Amino acid sequence: MSAANSACDEITSTCCPHCHTTDVVKNGKSGEGKQRYRCRNVECSRASFILDYT
């Protein structure tokens, strides 16, 4: 496991699936009621994400 992924494994942290930073904030809910998050890393090309798309 790489060092970048180790921060993602903490239970209390939400991690960006693209850049693996834990610098994320809640950003509303999707139409299906799923929590949406926004990555605050300016170098990340993926601005928002949902942890579970299924």
Q: Could you tell me the residue ranges of all domains in the chain?
A: 3-50
Q: Are 3 and 16 in contact (CB under 8 A)?
A: no
Q: What is the pLDDT of residue 14?
A: 87
Q: What is the pLDDT of residue 7?
A: 53
Q: What is the pLDDT of residue 16?
A: 93
Q: What is the pLDDT of residue 18?
A: 92
The residue among 43, 40, 29, 42 whose CA lies nearest residue 51 is 29
